[in-house]
A and B are shown apart, each in its own frame.
Chain A
Amino acid sequence: MNDMTQGAGVRAGDAPVEAGIVDCDIHPAVKSWNDLRPYLSDRWWNYLQTYGLRARHGFVRGTPYPKMSPLATRRDAWPDEGQPGSDLELMRRQHLDALGIGMGILNPLSPTGGDQNVAFSAALCTATNEWQLEAWTRQEPRLKASVVIPYEDGEASKAEIRRRAGVADFVQVLLLSRTSEPLGKRRYWPIYEAATEQGLPVAVHVFGYSGYPMTNSGWPSFYIEEGAAHPASCQASIASLVFEGVFERYPAMKLLVIEAGFAWLPALAWRLDKIWHRMRDEVPHVRRPPSEYIREHVWLTTQPMEEATRPRQVLDVMDWIGWDRLLFASDYPHWDFDDPRFSLPPALSTEQKNAVRFGNARALYGG
């Protein structure tokens, strides 16, 4: 078959599906910090006012790498008041209704875990989780919440996951990818213990601040490099999860990698296999080739969808990953949003498209 091209003119796009698309990456935002006031104690509210957030970087406001649009959001996603992602009505009108989203997973990026002060981080996460229920999922049944956790403190994270036990609105545990150590380290095991006990996937969304450079050769200069570097953190943490034996210890664990793209996974698995074959005596607790653990335990979202000048090549890679492992995500309301009508390669069969657009997510979340 020749390379597929999109042809001349405007492509009609993929039709909506009856059951609704599952969007695995929607970012809700607070209108203002006051939204969280009801869920924070006086102590932590005052702390927030006085000392503010202290992630592992130097900026009081904004981010170390300036985004290319305010708050990295779509220009058309600003409500009359507040910031993009803070207005449910606009989200319904512009995203859920307009694009036929039957289920949308909320991934709050701020506030979430990762503050230097882990006790404060734990309080913020509890507040954010309460706010997700009150402001979002109880208002809009299509939306589901993520249990955000103070992930640098395994025990506190475990407690937060258990606090949400049995609340069906929460469909996964969420942490950011730039943790202070690779995710296989023992300090994070309580997270996996609680998540598997509750039957929740562990979702890792890119960003966060490990305190270490974005690359293992130091800090790059540009936002484009920060974006390009995110998969590297995910790759390191997947290697760590495999080689520390986490998937041996927690056989029910499901890892979902969000917003790192997906095409790098086969190359990573092959590389780890080769290294494991050569030096498996260093990690005797790893009993099978790394690619087998990865095939069983790792799911990925599609956004930002990798694109090749010869689209057939992306299909090869999707084939190597497995058609049951890729989940559609839009990243609404961020600038690099993927539209479910246009982002998947046109050459996918209807069956493959349906798997990516809703089937795989329904299977993962049991919904």
Chain B
Amino acid sequence: MKLLDVSAIDCDVHPTVPDLADLLPYMEPHWRDTISDRGIEAFESISYPPNAPLSARPDWRDERGRAAQNVTSLATQALDRWNLRFAVGNCIYGVHMAFSEDLAAVLARAVNDWLVREWLDREPRLRASIVVPLQNPELAVDEIRRRSEDRRFVQVLLPAMAEAPLGRRHFWPIYSAAERAGLPIGIHAGSSYRHPVTPVGWPSHYVEDYASQAQAFQGQLASLVCEGVFTKFPNLKVVLIESGVTWLTPFLWRLTKFWRGLRSEVPWVDRPPSEIVREHVRMTIQPFDAPDGTERLERIIDHLQSDRMLLFSSDFPHWQFDGDEVLPNGFPESLVGRIAVDNPLETYPRMKECMP
């Protein structure tokens, strides 16, 4: 089955805030004044330097070199081009980087309002993730409650590197609110830069920063499993977004082996971590960090021991592939329908409510 034939659901596209000024209409006067009086310029993250090749594919950049800054470009360059049924908009703006939790809450609220007005209201195929001020779980829960009435919000979005591992108990009110609202937790590559991006300090290069995202997801999975998040919230799903894929299997082998030896430390983890992860965790396919080639690709997918985990994504406008090679070269056609339609609909139940 070909991608264009299935009306795929793209689980990771990036509506991009053109400028902080675009968010000002969604802020109270005090905060608008704060932005201008204090000369706050932007909350763009060095996780995606605007001019770095990865951050936007050349043919998707406008004359100013920017991409995905309005709904028209998303529609023509991605939604129409790949005949998409839905796409999940994950706005990667540095809300999670602010040190003031008040400012973070204001930014999150503004980004979500902006997403509704500028994107969701203008494009019926678009869905979005709720940006939350993770700096303060109570404020994050407020934001989830504020948005969850709007069924076009299908997920809660968290960064892969934060102040503390995401399984830690003080984050649990967020998971409780998400589970109650039927929203999966999406963890997207990126950092609040509270800690070095490697466990051995700051590297020299952006290529190392991006490579280190995979290690962040490893740590978050261990934390979510070992702290007992999935024991406490049995209906919660977690989606690892732009995480890479191939690190997962070897990581689960190690974690599961350690669990066999050390489970008395975490007695609430009552089944092998590999089973827990297969049930609760999903991953988007871009970037698919493996060489092209059918045989190896089939083995890598077989190693997952599940056809339910992978979710189709383009990562638009990030430059992960050229042309329309949005599926890894050699990806089994027999799995296209599952990862591009069935798995997304199972992961994001809200999408089923208004199927076109």
Binding site for B on A (CB under 8 A): 68, 177-185, 210, 212-225, 227-229, 231-233, 235-237, 239-240, 243-244, 261, 263-264, 266-268, 270-276, 278-279, 281-283, 304, 306-310, 313-314, 316-317, 320, 335-336
Known: A304-B257, A314-B253, A336-B261. A225 touches B205 (CB 8 A): no
> Pick the contact of A216 from B53, B216, B305 — CB < 8 Å?
B216
Q: Please, how many angstroms separate the alpha-carbon atoms of A336 and B262 in the complex?
A: 10
**Is B146 interfacial (CB-CB < 8 Å)?**
no
Q: List 25 A-B contacts (CB under 8 A).
A: A179-B201, A180-B200, A185-B204, A210-B200, A212-B196, A216-B196, A216-B199, A216-B219, A217-B163, A217-B195, A221-B165, A224-B258, A228-B254, A228-B258, A232-B215, A233-B199, A236-B199, A236-B211, A236-B212, A273-B291, A275-B207, A279-B207, A304-B258, A306-B254, A308-B303
**Is B160 interfacial (CB-CB < 8 Å)?**
yes
B51 to chain A minimum Cβ distance, whole angstroms, is: 11
Q: Are B261 and A215 in contact (CB under 8 A)?
A: no
Instruction: Please name all residues of chain A whose beta carbon is closer than 8 Å to the beta carbon of B202 when the two chains form the complex.
Output: 181-182
Q: Are B199 and A278 in contact (CB under 8 A)?
A: no
Q: Are B204 and A213 in contact (CB under 8 A)?
A: no
Other contacts beyond A215-B218, A270-B246, A275-B211: 7, CB < 8 A:
A216-B191, A217-B195, A222-B265, A232-B215, A236-B200, A264-B250, A313-B249
Known: A221-B226, A229-B219. A243 touches B165 (CB 8 A): no
> Pick the contact of A233 from B165, B198, B203 — CB < 8 Å?
B198
Closest to A263 in B: B250
Instruction: Please name all residues of chain A whose beta carbon is closer than 8 Å to the beta carbon of B203 when the two chains form the complex.
Output: 182, 184, 236, 239-240, 243
Beta-carbon contacts of B243-262 to A below 8 Å, as 1s and 0s?
A: 01011011101111111011
**Is B52 interfacial (CB-CB < 8 Å)?**
yes
**Is B26 interfacial (CB-CB < 8 Å)?**
no
Instruction: Please name all residues of chain A whose beta carbon is closer than 8 Å to the beta carbon of B305 when the two chains form the complex.
Output: 309-310
Q: Are A217 and B259 in contact (CB under 8 A)?
A: no
Q: Please, how many angstroms separate the alpha-carbon atoms of A346 and B3 in the complex?
A: 41
Instruction: Please name all residues of chain A whose beta carbon is closer than 8 Å to the beta carbon of B258 when the two chains form the complex.
Output: 224, 227-228, 304
Known: A210-B200, A231-B254. A279 touches B206 (CB 8 A): yes
A231 to chain B minimum Cβ distance, whole angstroms, is: 7
**Is B264 interfacial (CB-CB < 8 Å)?**
yes
Binding site for A on B (CB under 8 A): 52-54, 160-168, 191, 194-208, 210-212, 214-216, 218-220, 222-223, 226-227, 244, 246-247, 249-251, 253-259, 261-266, 274, 287, 289-291, 296, 299, 302-303, 305, 319
> Pick the contact of A224 from B195, B197, B265 — CB < 8 Å?
B265
Instruction: Please name all residues of chain B whose beta carbon is closer than 8 Å to the beta carbon of A309 when the two chains form the complex.
Output: 274, 305
B244 to chain A minimum Cβ distance, whole angstroms, is: 6
Q: Are B195 and A271 in contact (CB under 8 A)?
A: no
Most buried by A among B253, B266, B319: B253
Q: Are B255 and A228 in contact (CB under 8 A)?
A: yes
Q: Please, how many angstroms separate the alpha-carbon atoms of A270 and B328 in the complex?
A: 13
Q: Are B211 and A217 in contact (CB under 8 A)?
A: no
Most buried by B among A180, A232, A261, A278: A232
Closest to A236 in B: B198
Instruction: Please name all residues of chain A whose beta carbon is closer than 8 Å to the beta carbon of B211 when the two chains form the complex.
Output: 235-236, 239, 268, 271-272, 275
Q: Are A232 and B210 in contact (CB under 8 A)?
A: no
Instruction: Please name all residues of chain A whose beta carbon is closer than 8 Å to the beta carbon of B274 when the two chains form the complex.
Output: 309
Q: Are B200 and A220 in contact (CB under 8 A)?
A: no
Q: Are A216 and B266 in contact (CB under 8 A)?
A: no
Instruction: Please name all residues of chain B whose beta carbon is closer than 8 Å to the beta carbon of A231 when the two chains form the complex.
Output: 218, 251, 254
Instruction: Please name all residues of chain A whose beta carbon is closer than 8 Å to the beta carbon of B219 when the two chains form the complex.
Output: 214-217, 220, 225, 229, 232
Instruction: Please name all residues of chain A whose beta carbon is closer than 8 Å to the beta carbon of B196 when the two chains form the complex.
Output: 212, 216
Q: Are B164 and A224 in contact (CB under 8 A)?
A: no
Q: Are A243 and B208 in contact (CB under 8 A)?
A: yes
Q: Please, how many angstroms separate the alpha-carbon atoms of A317 and B4 in the complex?
A: 33
Q: Please, how many angstroms separate the alpha-carbon atoms of A214 and B223 in the complex?
A: 12
Q: Please, how many angstroms separate the alpha-carbon atoms of A335 and B260 in the complex?
A: 13
Instruction: Please name all residues of chain A whose beta carbon is closer than 8 Å to the beta carbon of B227 when the two chains form the complex.
Output: 221
Q: Are B247 and A264 in contact (CB under 8 A)?
A: yes
Instruction: Please name all residues of chain B whose beta carbon is closer than 8 Å to the beta carbon of A275 when the two chains form the complex.
Output: 54, 207, 210-211
Instruction: Please name all residues of chain B whose beta carbon is closer than 8 Å to the beta carbon of A182 when the two chains form the complex.
Output: 198, 200-204, 208
Q: Please, how many angstroms separate the alpha-carbon atoms of A179 and B196 in the complex?
A: 13
Most buried by A among B165, B202, B216, B266: B165
Q: Are A306 and B195 in contact (CB under 8 A)?
A: no
Q: Are B319 and A306 in contact (CB under 8 A)?
A: no
Q: Are A243 and B205 in contact (CB under 8 A)?
A: yes
Known: A232-B218, A282-B205. A223 touches B164 (CB 8 A): no
Instruction: Please name all residues of chain B whose beta carbon is closer than 8 Å to the beta carbon of A240 when the two chains form the complex.
Output: 198, 200, 203-204, 208
Q: Are A236 and B54 in contact (CB under 8 A)?
A: no
Instruction: Please name all residues of chain B whose beta carbon is closer than 8 Å to the beta carbon of A281 when the two chains form the complex.
Output: 53
Q: Are B204 and A216 in contact (CB under 8 A)?
A: no
Closest to B250 in A: A263
Instruction: Please name all residues of chain A whose beta carbon is closer than 8 Å to the beta carbon of B220 when the two chains form the complex.
Output: 215, 217
Q: Are A213 and B246 in contact (CB under 8 A)?
A: no
Instruction: Please name all residues of chain A whose beta carbon is closer than 8 Å to the beta carbon of B291 when the two chains form the complex.
Output: 270, 273
Instruction: Please name all residues of chain B whose beta carbon is closer than 8 Å to the beta carbon of A274 when the two chains form the complex.
Output: 287, 289
Q: Please, how many angstroms separate the alpha-carbon atoms of A305 and B264 in the complex?
A: 21
Closest to A227 in B: B258
Instruction: Please name all residues of chain A whose beta carbon is closer than 8 Å to the beta carbon of B262 when the two chains form the complex.
Output: 68, 223-224, 227
Q: Are B257 and A306 in contact (CB under 8 A)?
A: yes
